[in-house]
């Protein structure tokens, strides 16, 4: 069975190995230079306090590569489920070769165990190597990315660390399961993609924010958490404040919600992303003649306006990685048990 499985799988495995070697070579050649540029830029910007500007310029120069590699890691598990998992059973059923194989000395359970073990471990290994290589290469960019592309952000989190291994194992066994139930290759591939995509969307929206209790705190307003201040004369001349998805003192945190609260602690509604604060604009630091700059920010803080944010700090990145990977491992084990039960009792 091992020899037969290798004969059937070696073409795809060789192609994937070649792509991994190309990717590893490219990352090994460019990674040290990227890290060196980052270290030199940090050393220079700390002297004149211009690191925010350096982060923006550094990330912008490499944003295309950053996004491309992130998408590669995110798509790899789905591709494994579609092209390796879904056809595993359907190919045998459509060709009728399962009737010959299962009538020999090899049992259905042994046949499936070898197939799942050999191809499943290969899938996990490929996703793990790809994810860890991209995590190593992207480290300087993860440190300089904006809030929406920070390490804990949903788009980036799934392409870093060990999480791709859990995704790949689940996607592969999901494809096998769907193939057993549907019995046709193309419908199984399409359904596998749809189900896996739905679960991948549900995880960061419904599950991941609650893997550990989020932290809720209030913060003074400043450059870290304020995106802009203006005066809207159509609304009585109130000062309008747009908040960022960031919290002071917790760089890289995943902000689940952020609201402007008044001195009584009541959350203020937003209009177009701006929240109105009842601060005098006829005179004082927030008057148009004063420019609504740092002095206005000080005045807003003095009056008691604050940012109230619920967030998951960056320090929880690795605990979240292990917990989420464990969840996918349990789902994979459940589907694996179902596959063995189904192939012995229902599949013919």
Please state, rounded to an integer, the average pLDDT across all residues of the chain: 89
Query: Residues 38-46: contacts with CB within 8 Å, 24+ apart?
Result: 38/140, 38/143, 38/144
The helix/strand/coil state of 271 is strand
Could you tell me the pTM of the whole model? 0.90
Alpha-carbon distance of 241 to 233, in angstroms, equals: 14
DSSP 8-state assignment for residue 224 = T
Residue 271: the pLDDT is: 76
Which segments within 74-201 are labelled E, that is strand? none
210 secondary structure, DSSP code: G
Residue 135 structure tokens: 């995590």
Chain-centroid distance, C-alpha 202 = 12
pLDDT band at 96 (very low <50, low <70, confident <90, very high): low
| R_g of the chain, CA atoms, integer Å | 26
Place 238 in a pLDDT band, splitting at 50, 70 and 90: confident
> Does residue 347 surpass a pLDDT of 70?
no
Cα distances (Å, whole numbers) of residue 336 to 127, 173, 174, 343: 19, 7, 9, 11
């Amino acid at each position: 069975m091992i020899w037969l499985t290798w004969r059937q799988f070696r073409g795809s495995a060789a192609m994937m190995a070649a792509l991994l070697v190309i990717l590893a070579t490219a990352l090994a050649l460019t990674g040290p230079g990227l890290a060196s540029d980052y270290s030199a830029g940090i050393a220079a910007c700390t002297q004149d306090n211009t690191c925010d500007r350096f982060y923006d310029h550094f990330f912008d120069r490499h944003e295309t590569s950053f996004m491309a590699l992130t998408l590669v890691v995110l798509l790899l598990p789905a591709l494994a489920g579609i092209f390796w998992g879904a056809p595993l059973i359907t190919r045998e059923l459509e060709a009728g070769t399962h009737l010959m194989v299962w009538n020999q000395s090899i049992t259905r359970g042994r046949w499936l165990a070898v197939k799942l073990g050999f191809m499943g471990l290969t899938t996990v290994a490929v996703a793990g190597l790809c994810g860890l290589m991209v995590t190593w290469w992207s480290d300087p960019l993860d440190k300089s990315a904006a809030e929406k592309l920070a390490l804990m952000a949903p788009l980036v989190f799934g392409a870093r660390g060990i999480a791709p291994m859990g995704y790949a194992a689940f996607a592969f066994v999901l494809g096998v399961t769907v193939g057993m139930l549907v019995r046709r290759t193309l419908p199984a591939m399409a359904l596998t993609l749809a189900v896996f995509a739905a679960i991948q969307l549900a995880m960061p929206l419904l599950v991941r924010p609650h893997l550990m209790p989020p932290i809720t705190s209030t913060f003074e307003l400043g450059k870290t958490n304020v995106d802009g201040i203006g005066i809207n004369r159509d609304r009585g001349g109130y000062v309008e404040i747009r908040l960022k998805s960031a919290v002071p003192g917790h760089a890289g945190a995943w902000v689940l919600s952020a609201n402007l609260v008044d001195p009584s602690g009541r959350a203020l509604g937003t209009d177009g992303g701006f929240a109105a604060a009842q601060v005098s604009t006829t005179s004082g630091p927030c008057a148009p003649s004063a420019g609504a700059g740092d002095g206005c920010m000080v005045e807003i803080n003095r009056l008691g306006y604050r940012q109230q944010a619920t967030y998951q700090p960056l320090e929880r990145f690795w605990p979240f990685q292990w917990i989420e990977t464990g969840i996918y491992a349990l789902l994979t084990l459940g589907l694996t048990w179902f596959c063995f039960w189904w192939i012995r009792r229902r599949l013919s």
